[in-house]
Chain A
Amino acid sequence: MYCCRLGAEWLRSKRPSGKGSPGAGQQRAGVSQCMPRWPRRPKASWPGSAIVWPAELGQELLKWNGWGYNDSKFIFNKKGQAEFTGKRYRLGGMVLPTFKEWIEKTFGASLEHKTTSRASLNVNDVPPPIVNEEFLQDLRATKISYSQDAEDRVFRAHGHCLHEIFVLREGMFKRIPDIVVWPVCHEDVVKIVELACKHNLCIIPFGGGTSVSSALECPEEEKRMIISLDTSQMNRILWIDEKNLTACVEAGIVGQDLEKQLAESGFCTGHEPDSMEFSSLGGWVATRASGMKKNIYGNIEDLVIHIKMVTPRGIVEKNCQVPRMSTGPDIHHFIMGSEGTLGVVTEVTIKIRPVPEYQKYGSVVFPNFERGVACLREVAKQRCAPASIRLVDNAQFQFGHALKPQVASIFTSFLDGLKKFYITKFKGFDPNILCVATLLFEGDREKVLQHEKQVYDIATKFGGLAAGEDNGQRGYMLTFVIAYLRDLGLDYYVIGESFETSVPWDRVLDLCRNVKERIVRECKEKGVQFAPLSTCRVTQTYDAGACVYFYFAFNYRGISDPIHVYEQIERAAREEILANGGSLSHHHGVGKLRKRWMKESISDVGLGMLRSVKEYVDPNNIFGNKNLL
């Protein structure tokens, strides 16, 4: 059994003088399994495919008003060329010569029109906390660390929806948590939930804070004290069972730490959502997360063996750790996707696998999107999908292309030119229609090569041409840096967001076309002056359908209320998805952003079933984040 607590570093030199906290030294003196720690944000960075590690310690690492690490961002350098700063990502320190032109061409944006975010949080704007003194007294007695500091509270008042970031840059939330608590173990959580029940307070669990469904926003009308329960200090791997290939992990651990620590023992979970640098295991469970490599490792529901959750009624868990059981409806499925409305997930037993021996990227160019989708469908039919296979449409292909760093040698650029010539002139692909599938193979070297051949053979049948590892790798890099790009866009009047759905195979093409068209049309109707970027990729394949991911962004110069316009368009796009037979969400979840469609999605009775569970488990609505139902 391992008991490691790597990476739980002190991230800030500045120690918040937590009002009413009984002094840090005193707390730390009480060393026990539940040693309270000063809480901070995620730590080291996940090496992943495109990322360099480790992170430096001892400072505030994350942006307060945007995505990701402070030191990583897109900027325009003195020459007016785009550049990605920092050393965490492969793209770090590189100049992207064509990016500026792309951004100007795509959005009609110009470097002269700039907006600037507030430099720092204005503490005076922050709503004053609601304080329940009796609770505070009880809490102090538990020696669980907490903070009522404004910055800590604001940091946990939001996820990463566009409107939330916009509020951070230019306004203030109407309601934020009143106190942040940092339990360090399951027992701490039990105590906090008990106290909240005793004093009738509201708890909102907080993991990595990467939600894109307004799930972390505090309901404005909540009059009770809101406790933000930050799980980040519950980040240990409790044990690893090599015989059964399982690991029991505290739910607050973030994805990259989990993989890093498992890697030390030669294992991995293989669960890699795009947010894995920052999102937590508990968050994955609570939202039914999906990982890029689900074709090999499965989605969260396939990975989870056992869950322990603390609810106002008590603790819910199964009595054994088995691969499957027939004991009525699976209680895990009440927990997975409950989005923090029922309780706090504290410990999860998850499947692990030996770290794969070999990884290989790849890419295939198709003459058009239709052929590409047909190829993916065939790959899914033959059940030979690689760890990841994604098909990006033409706009996204060009997007990825714009992020190509300056090439070092003349030879490479000559080679690129040659490739382009071959594809467009010799093979007759139209550069404004063609699309690209990116591939990631994983496993034994031999099997990977064999597998690769099989997939490329299928691709050839659909008119596909192998287009090299480099294109593939860049495609995956895009998903990690796209969130950083939004922050850059915000500086230049460009707002955007991504959203996703799942859809049966036969409707994939129609859905993609119609949703993109709807976005363009809605933009026009809502008075957006510039043509939007409206692009999609088929990002996961299943037997019966696919997961489709959209990016949507536009230049809002000339619009007085861009967020409102944005939200109207996003809603229209979701309506379109539903009308095309797509789901409300494949993996982002419902939160508060998509609640209005729940009834339609799961029927009245279905909603009633969920409600009755909520009523039994949490009759006083202690977990009152108002998500989902």
Chain B
Amino acid sequence: MKCYTPVIYKGLSPCKPNAIKSAVLQSEQVQYVIKQLAKEMGESPDIIQEEAMEILDEMGHRMQLGAVRFFAFTLSKIFKQLFQRVCVNEEGMQRLQHAIQEHPVVLLPSHRSYVDFLMLSYLLYTYDLALPVIAAGIDFLGMKIVGELLRRAGAFFMRRSFGGNRLYWAVFAEYVKTMLRSGYAPIEFFLEGTRSRTAKTLTPKFGLLSIVMEPFFKREVFDTYLVPISISYERILEESLYAYELLGVPKPKESTSGLLKARRILSDNFGTIHIYVGQPVSLRTLASGRISRCPYNLVPRHLPQKPSEDIQEFVSDVAYKMELLQIENMVLSPWVLVAAVLLQNLPAMEFELLIEKTLWLKGLTQTFGGFIEWPDNLCAKKAVLSGLTLHSNIAGLVDGHVVLNDKGVEDGAVGEIVFRHALAVLMCATYRNQLLNVFVRPALVAVALQMAPSFRKEEVYSCFNFLRDVFSDEFIFFPGISLKDFEEGCFLLTKCDAIQTSQQEIYPTDKGSGTVSFLSAMFRPFVEGYQLIFRYLSKEMKEAFTEKQFIPAVRNFVFQLLEKGSTQCYEALSSDMQKNALSALVQLGAVKKKKTPNGFTYNVNQEAVGKILDMFDARIPVQKPVAARL
């Protein structure tokens, strides 16, 4: 049996999971809320205390080494079946080992698959590091045995939403903070909140992050390390599941039998996993000079306190920064490049041309700072071929041409054909999507160049700014630095000779027109998709609606257009894009979001949406003069 003696936090006071639970229950924070609730509801504190105990039991982990060993054993078997290799950056693991001893550590992995946290725990175990406690969605608990096993492997569970339940929030927050303060184990959760179905990084959620940051704000710990971890899969286990889900075929509930059925995929090959453990980021360093200490000094630390505006802003900034670090360190496989090229050349592309284009895109990606895993000496042909082999369910080689693998296209109804094709496109897009956040700044400049009525800098910037606002939920932008993003985009484009800038103007070079059009084609599905969705909203949605009504309705609308052949934008079928587009309109103020007892309802301001549509369509001149800095 493996000897497992992980390094521990220097300030650790060793304790059992049960001791943590009772510490949480007895903490001033939880007791305060219990007393408050008892007073408000006129109930005895004992009853509420019991309720808190139940919450704690439902949520708490019971990490046991035996279970961990069992897990490690089975996982190593399963992983060996599924994946060819798992690559880890060794120096990252070493840095992590140091960090764990020094200060409490929060692991922030990207979330593309259920494999993420299993893999990460397995990895830490293998490297003799303290196993993390993981905030997992409570739906796992529905899985018999497995839920319990996960719990024993260190997972703790949170309800997906508990906005209104103060007791739940108090108990949960205190549980997380107690584990953090005591240095019990690294805490792991996903900034994205849920698995990204599109392999595109989701905009961050702030709740858990602000909980783990609070002990530092209150100086209960000297510092906290945030460790961004990028996990990328050559082939994602759930790829087809995601595609179905995006097209509205409901997600199967997590269940043990479901997991057993998934056994079928055991015989499949899912390629390589790359795990990049980023440099631990000191929260103290991030916060230096940013946080006014007053609010925390003037109120007893156990009282629940709504974070001040500058704290909220800081939490949001940190969240975005961490996601951008995840993106920066995300390993991209050659197949990602192939998928990006292929999607622009449907329905079929000559194999040789595909190789040539892929190689070209590799150079461009590297110029833009993408982190490509391209095995040494591997010729482009082999790389593309091995990608095609691994992803034979998505694309294949037919007569020297690469085509999407949309089986059963010929023998179906029109609807069936569209659906099949959409499925293939969305699956393929999942891989192209991994490039998008690396490309988004230069690409939006490229799109803006084509949209803007002239090459004048301020007009291009104005378009860029508009696109950045519209796509703020689609891609990851650090808040509030539009101009900097624009400058970075321009810089990268200049670097690859795609554009030239003068004092007042930005224009594409002759040599670079290929690059510019490639980039704008890359983002065309989003530009077109958003237009479709906006058009639908401005025409059809006259009354208040909920998200549940909106998604199928807009899907039908797009579906009909696809059937008629009046659009080729299959990606507009993706519920992810539809939701993002809706929330962008909410942020732009063109849609009003209202809270009702049955959730949120939306009201469209047709005129405003129409105006936004015009921005896409017409080359309208800038209204406002923009910053003189341009």
Contact = CB atoms under 8 A, between A and B. Distances in A.
Contacts of B294: 600
B222, B293, B301: most-surrounded residue (chain A CB, <10 A):
B222
Nearest to A517: B222
Interface residues of B, number: 9
Contact of A506 (B222, B296, B300): B300
10 contacts: A506-B300, A507-B219, A514-B219, A518-B222, A578-B293, A579-B219, A579-B293, A581-B296, A581-B297, A600-B294
Contacts of B254: none
A101 interface: no
Contacts of B296: 581
Interface string A586-626: 00000000000000100000000000000000000000000
Contacts of B300: 506
B219 A580 contact: yes
B43 interface: no
A506 B222 CA distance: 16
Contacts of A578: 293
B293 A510 contact: no
B547 interface: no
A513 interface: yes
Contacts of A518: 222
A345 interface: no
B51 interface: no
A511 B301 CA distance: 13
Nearest to A509: B220
A600 B294 CA distance: 9
Q: How many interface residues does chain A have, given as a range?
A: 10 to 19
A136 to B, nearest CB: 50
Interface string B260-298: 000000000000000000000000000000000110110
Interface of B: 219-220, 222, 293-294, 296-297, 300-301
A580 B217 CA distance: 9
A579 B293 CA distance: 6
A517 B220 CA distance: 13
Nearest to A583: B297
Nearest to A576: B219
Interface of A: 506-507, 510-511, 513-514, 517-518, 578-581, 600
A514 B217 CA distance: 12
B9 to A, nearest CB: 13
Contacts of B297: 581
Contacts of B219: 507, 510-511, 514, 579-581
Nearest to B289: A575
A514 B222 contact: yes
A525 to B, nearest CB: 11
Contact of B222 (A507, A513, A581, A600): A513
Given A510-B220, A517-B222, 8 more contacts: A507-B219, A507-B301, A513-B222, A514-B219, A518-B222, A579-B293, A581-B219, A581-B297
Q: Which 3 A-B pairs give the minimum distances between C-beta atoms?
A: A581-B297, A580-B219, A579-B293
A506 B301 contact: yes
B52 to A, nearest CB: 22
Contacts of A506: 300-301
A511 B222 CA distance: 9
Contacts of B220: 510
A514 B294 CA distance: 18
Contacts of A580: 219
Nearest to B287: A579
A579 B300 CA distance: 14
A580 B284 CA distance: 13
A507 B296 CA distance: 11
A513 B219 CA distance: 10
A422 to B, nearest CB: 26
A506 B220 CA distance: 10
Nearest to A370: B13
A324 B294 CA distance: 33
Nearest to B282: A521
Contacts of A600: 294
Contacts of B222: 513-514, 517-518
Contacts of A514: 219, 222
B41 to A, nearest CB: 28
A167 to B, nearest CB: 30
Nearest to A514: B222
Contacts of A581: 219, 293, 296-297
A351 B297 CA distance: 35
A581 B294 CA distance: 8
Nearest to A516: B222
Nearest to A572: B288
B219, B296, B300, B301: most-surrounded residue (chain A CB, <10 A):
B219
A373 to B, nearest CB: 15
B506 to A, nearest CB: 42
A573 to B, nearest CB: 13
A579 B297 CA distance: 8
A579 to B, nearest CB: 5
A580 B293 CA distance: 8
A506 B301 CA distance: 9
